[in-house]
Amino acid sequence: MNKILSDLFSFQDNEYRDFNSKLIPNIAKENVIGVRVPVLRKYAKEIKNSSLENDFLNSLPHKYLEENILHALLLENIKTYGDTINALNEFLPFVDNWAVCDIMSIKIFKKHLDILPEQLDGWLNSSHPYTIRFAIKMYMTYYLDESFSTSYMTKISEIQSGEYYVNMMIAWYFATALAKQYDTAIKFLESNKLPIWVHNKTIQKAIESYRITKEQKEYLRTLKRQKN
């Protein structure tokens, strides 16, 4: 992997490294190279379908944040659903921050929305916070429009976690749900189905959204809960 590391360090931007390190406080600064995402996307395209890509994907765990982001971007190139799931099962246990987790956009999932929930539910039951976060993000991405089901929303509302980045994703999911499936999502707030912190963070994020109407925002403010 010397070639890839050499290339990544050639793209280094120290000012960006300092900035990005502050956004991901749980990653040691010495494990951040400082490469901007558009540069990583371009590089991923350059090594796509090469022996270098194959060797890199089989070289877990990685040391640097940018290696993990590159790995996440390369997963988008895998051509079959089964191989994608296998690659994710290998990679997700090593994901240790929100930036790597949230950048993963697995387009092949769109063709398998009928069977994907079974896999997502397995990830929701993981003990690893970023595996759970990733599963929630996939439910948010693919199952709040035509493929929506109240049962999916119920599953996510029942997640109990002490992990900040899991709870933030639950709040993000429900804030997005309020924009896309308001009549169903609002019932979860009205009936206090969510933990207080998640409940209030959902309202905060929804109020900040341009997709929520003024009237809806006014009503959401009345649903804020006080800590016990």
pLDDT, mean over the chain: 96
Rounded to an integer, what distance in angstroms lies between the CA atom of residue 93 and that of residue 129?
9
Residue 1: pLDDT band with limits 50, 70, 90: low
The residue among 129, 226, 223 whose CA lies nearest residue 174 is 223
The residue among 39, 60, 57 whose CA lies nearest residue 48 is 57
Residue 186: which H helix or E strand, with range? helix 182-190
Residue 218: pLDDT band with limits 50, 70, 90: very high
φ and ψ at residue 63, rounded to 5 degrees: -95, -40
Angle between the N-to-C axes of helices 2-10 and 65-74, in degrees from 0 to 180, rounded to the nearest 10: 110
Rounded to an integer, what distance in angstroms lies between the CA atom of residue 107 and that of residue 19?
29
What sign results for the dihedral spanned by CA atoms 131, 132, 133, 137? positive
Q: What is the pLDDT of residues 33-43, one digit of tens each?
A: 999 999 999 99
Residue 111 pLDDT exceeds 90: yes
* 213 backbone φψ class: left, alpha, beta (φ>0; ψ -120 to 50): beta
| pTM assigned to the model | 0.95
64 versus 227: the higher-pLDDT residue is 64
Average pLDDT over residues 147-169: 97
Residue 49: pLDDT band with limits 50, 70, 90: confident
Q: Compute CA 132 distance to the chain's CA centroid, rounded to the nearest angstrom.
A: 9
Average pLDDT over residues 156-170: 97
User: What 3-state class would DSSP assign to 54?
Assistant: helix
CB neighbour list of residue 122: distance below 8 Å, 6 or more residues apart = none
User: What 3-state class would DSSP assign to 140?
Assistant: helix
